[in-house]
Structure 1
Amino acid sequence: MSWSNLQPQENSAIKNIVILGADIIGWCAAVGLARGLQGQQVNITVLDCLLNERPLNQPSLTQSANEAVIHCTAHLFDFHRLLGIQDKQLLVNGSAKLCSATQLTNFSAQHSDYFIGCENTLPNFCTVELHQVLQWLEIDDISPYSLSALAAQKSLLALPANSKDEIAAGFSPSLNLDAKAYLRFMQGAASQLGVKLIKATVSDIRYHSENGFIKQFELDNGTTIDADLVLDNSGPTGVLNEINQQRPYVDCATLIPFDKKISTRLNITQQAKPYQQFIATAEGIVEISFMPQFHEISLYYASTSTSDEQAQYQLRKFAPQSEPLELKQVQYAYTEQAMFKNCFALGTTAGYLGSSPFSNLILCQRSISKLLDLFPGKACLATNSAELNRRIAKDYQQALDYSLLMLLYAEGQPSFSWQLSQQQLPAILQQKITLFSSSGRVASELNPLVSRIRWLTLLKHKVLDRHGYEPVLDALDKSNARQFLLQLSLKIQQCLSHYRPYN
């Protein structure tokens, strides 16, 4: 690829935005920017592209292109509301299914199967948090006090209440998205907002001679596209490989040893479930997402310890009558410099955390929201870029820590070779576990990617060797605390009685 030089116009207004990669991530970014920059006369182009030296028969550059189901947190609804997008039809036609919990199977010798609900708030006893009361009363099983977890276990459709005074208002359901349906949904929204689509091969990229900013893309059909801001969703080795080699990436391979993913789709009718399931096996982690007409089943594993044949055999145990298997390489990493010059990393270019409660779609939407906050109309100033990179890297770090705690960490002696002890975790996560174990106290989570209650609920399930609780409880009456828990359980059961079956 040759380099052509043009003179820069420093700090000029952003008029032309080019998005590389036409999968869900690319179209979601296009809709977010088109809506957020309405009235600023910005031209947005989605470039469905390949490099001229890349074989045309090579699979899509983006990891998310072939996923059948994308799991999303409630942040998806926040993003839609921010953009004024009407998403009710997705729920009505079954393209999106609400989930009220995550089921973890075989991860712990003490609890072989348990549900973690989607609570954002929980009742307290005399201002003391619920998990502290349970520890004080030496109660290990917390599921009777989680409305969303119980609804998932009973296969009920749990809907949050509008009134903040009701116990049913304390959770925010996640959801599973039919990837193809959501892609069409976003393409339609982008088209209505004037986003253009071009399918072509990139033959050359022109850069400014002084600052190295991308200025133009030359395509094989003779077209030239101007670019003031580029969003790269083509993958870390995609169209802008030379630029991505200059980004600092955090390699997560020492924490998450999986380098391969094998997936299949099991066609089945009316078998959706109100939760996302993870199953621990000797080979790796199995993830199952449930939709009304099919289930998507994936196994993440390490090629150094598990052969492709062993992985296929393991996956067939969960889906003996499924469609053909799809095998691909994965690389766990994320960049600490999402904005580099005038090029913004999205999708797997920004990072990949694999089997996680946080999909690349959610991280993309949060990144776009932050981009709009800091870049209302001017080009990429260094001070703005540094702050943007800090915020986005914090999201990825928070998602990684939460995923490690949920899926990789094993208290005591690990059952599988890929599980991590506390000493193998990042220092900030080790500190959370130590603080929770000693007194149940964890520093405030300033980043809203994961609510404080979600952290506490997960820690309660994963850190069973607690030897401390809130000392103020010693001044209270245990009989009153037990009565409080009984009343809470009755309220939850009453609420469950009003929910209808999930299917």
Structure 2
Amino acid sequence: MTKKINNIVILGGGTAGWMTAAALSKLLNRSEINITLVESEEIPSVGVGEATIPQLQLFNALLGIDENEFVIETQATFKHGIMFKNWKQLDHDYIHPFGSIGIPLDGIDFYQYWLKLSKLGKAESLDNYAFNSVSAINKKMMRSINVPNSPLNDIAYAFHFDAGLYAKYLNKFSMKHGVNHIVSKVNKVNLIEDKDSAKNGFIRSIELMNDQTVEGDLFIDCSGFHGVLIEQALHTGYESWSHWLPCDRAVVMPTTSTEEAVPYTCSTAHTAGWQWKIPLQSRVGNGHVYSSRFMSDDEAKKILLENVTGEPLTEPRVIHFKTGVRRKQWNKNCVAIGLSSGFIEPLESTSIHLIQSSISRLMSLFPSTDFDKTDIDTFNRQSMAEQEAVRDFIIAHYKITERDDSAFWNYCRNMDVPSSVQKKIDLFKTNGRIFRENNELFHESSWVAVMVGQGLTSKHYHPLVDAMPVEEAQKRVEHIKHVIEQSVMKMPTHTEFIQKNCKAAS
């Protein structure tokens, strides 16, 4: 008879640990399963303001969290997309918006008509045909309302928030749902040592500095870059992607708010990396991601300090990382979630989504104490595919550029990339085609926004576009632009929306 999991141990708090604890305590039968989260107060959180993608709404809804309450408790603002500055070339910017770009015309993707009209000089910037780009630039925000045939009927948005406050919020949520919370550092990880057992090498327990020993059936490693369980104890191995994504450090620092919070994340490319700006209600999160091969820590700090607004709230702090992925994110009876599973720089705000999707995948393949190899292999295969798809999208930002003003950008522009990235680039270069494969995270509209925004051009466009006369195509494209503009005009400003619905206490 299959034996059920009775004890789950989560090592590490922070966003990953408490998201995992909150989801498991909400979804599992708490009368049968004990959940214990162990964290150390001595290990600081990595984040300095967090940006997300829209899928976080689904996670919060799953937990039954009121969105306005979430925004208030985490000092959050809203986000329609990402503004990229200086990525194609200096003094150039574009937006990667959430949601769609235009609407299909006669069954053909909108961007194919845009490609043709743009070549003829009869279309404006692609940003002008994306509802989220226009609403971001105009600093507007609202939730969807029932207006047929209007972009207001389906508004995509995400959040900027304080990741530390979110962890505290989920801490309270989890404790109400019965999660045991222990504050202590790990002293030793005990493995099962029985060569005749199928569970030889599995984790039996963790010994803590407070002299407690915590036993478990399933261990979830949310210990961050340290990978205390998945790597230090189980020696799972790590696959580096630093040859494609050479940035390996970030200097981070929050500052005071000096201006109205905008509903988009700003990513500004510098000579050896890029800088994020994440506006919260209470402060601004700033960070400069860079490659230590091309820039010193002191130079990186100097660039950050010269390009922030407001007064620093802390001293600049340097974080070291190695872009890549754990060779197995589920090894024996241990599942790595969050930074312990791998790291892809936060250029497209995917960190929290990868936590969320790992939790969802674990629930779908939740084990018995038999720990079936087929389930584990499926988890690892899907996890790797998802990580690689996100990796490819980030690589494209670096590879597709016209910048030649520094050694870093020359390296990125000329580097060999994975065949999966090159195939997407080559496909777009011919007839402007993009195909989403294996349910990858980023849709065709995201790839179009980045490829066009970074300066990639196509020789041709979809031949069926020619079935529509140029004048008719131009008329319909202009109508879409007009509808977007009129819809955005009806929206309240981002600031007004927050003031009315979810203003946090000062």
CA contact (8 A) 1:18 1:44 kept: yes
Distance 1:222 1:307, change over 3 A: closer
Query: Is 1:350 the counterpart of 2:341 in the alignment?
Result: yes
Q: Among 9, 13, 18, which residue is 1:22 paired with?
A: 13
In the alignment, residue 157 of structure 1 is paired with which amino acid?
M
Deviations 1:372-408 (A, max 9, x none): 00116554211100000111112211211122223x1
8 Å CA contact 1:120, 1:452 repeated in 2: no
Give unpaired runs (5+ residues) of structure 2. Answer: 496-506
Deviation at 1:417, TM superposition (A): 2.8
For the Cα contact (< 8 Å) 2:187–2:207, is it kept in 1? yes
Other-structure match for 2:463: 471
Equivalences for residues 36-185 of structure 1 within 5 A: 36-39=27-30, 41-49=32-40, 60=43, 65-92=45-72, 95-109=75-89, 112-120=92-100, 122-137=102-117, 138=119, 139=123, 141-162=125-146, 165-185=149-169
Residues 429-470 of structure 1, C-alpha deviation per residue, up to 9 Å, x if partnerless? Answer: 110111111112222333252223222332232353210101
Whether the 8 Å CA contact 2:273–2:290 is kept in 1: the answer is yes
Counterpart-to-counterpart distance in 2, 1:378 and 1:40: 18
Q: 1:168 to 1:491 in 2, by over 3 A?
A: same
Residue pair 1:145, 1:492 contacting (<8 A) in 2 also: yes
Q: Contact 2:102 / 2:111 at 8 angstroms: preserved in 1?
A: no
Q: How far did residue 92 of structure 1 move?
A: 4.5
> 1:402 and 1:284 mapped to 2: Cα distance?
16
How far the C-alpha of 1:360 sits from its partner, in A, is: 2.5
Aligned residues: 482
Equivalent residue number for residue 3 of structure 1: none
Which whole-Å CA distance do the structure 2 matches of 1:93 and 1:45 have between them?
24
> How high is the TM-score relative to the length of structure 2?
0.89
Question: What amino acid is the match of 1:349?
Answer: S
Deviation at 1:226, TM superposition (A): 1.5
How far off its partner does 1:99 sit? 0.6
Using the TM superposition, name which of 355-364 and 434-443 deviates more.
Answer: 355-364
- Alignment partner of 2:174 out of 185, 190, 211: 190
Structure 1 residues 43 and 128, CA gap change in structure 2 (3 angstroms):
same
1:340 partner letter: N
Q: Per-residue CA shift, 1:110-135, capped at 9, x if unaligned?
A: 87112221124641222111110011
Report % sequence identity: 22
Equivalent position SS for 1:126: coil
Q: Which amino acid aligns with 1:446?
A: N
Shift of 1:150: 1.0
2:407 pairs with 1:417: yes
The answer to whether residue 322 in structure 2 is matched with residue 322 in structure 1 is no
2:498: which partner in 1? none
Change (3 A) 1:93 1:187: closer
Q: Distance in 2 between matches of 1:239 and 1:448?
A: 29
| Equivalent pair of 1:236/1:244 in contact (CA under 8 Å) | no
CA distance in structure 2 between the partners assigned to 1:191 and 1:274 by the alignment = 32
> What is the TM-score with the length of structure 1 in the denominator?
0.89
Structure 1 unaligned residues grouped into runs of 5+: 1-9, 51-58
**Match in the other structure for 2:222:** 233
Deviations 1:201-235 (A, max 9, x none): 33333322232111122233332212100011113
Pair 113,244 (structure 1): closer, same or farther in 2 beyond 3 Å? farther
Instruction: Show the counterpart of 1:497.
Output: 489
Q: Distance in 1 between matches of 2:89 and 2:212?
A: 61
Among 268, 274, 295, which residue is 1:285 paired with? 274
Question: What letter corresponds to residue 103 of structure 1 in structure 2?
Answer: M
Once the two structures are TM-superposed, the CA of residue 24 in structure 1 deviates from its matched residue by: 1.7
Deviations 1:237-292 (A, max 9, x none): 35337556632422011112122211111112563111001111113211111112
Q: Which structure: greater helix fraction? A: 2
- Give me the whole-angstrom Cα distance separating, in 2, the residues matched to 1:332 and 1:433: 22
Stretch moving more, 440-449 or 193-202: 440-449
For the residues of structure 2 that align with 1:86 and 1:385, how far apart are their CA atoms?
A: 34
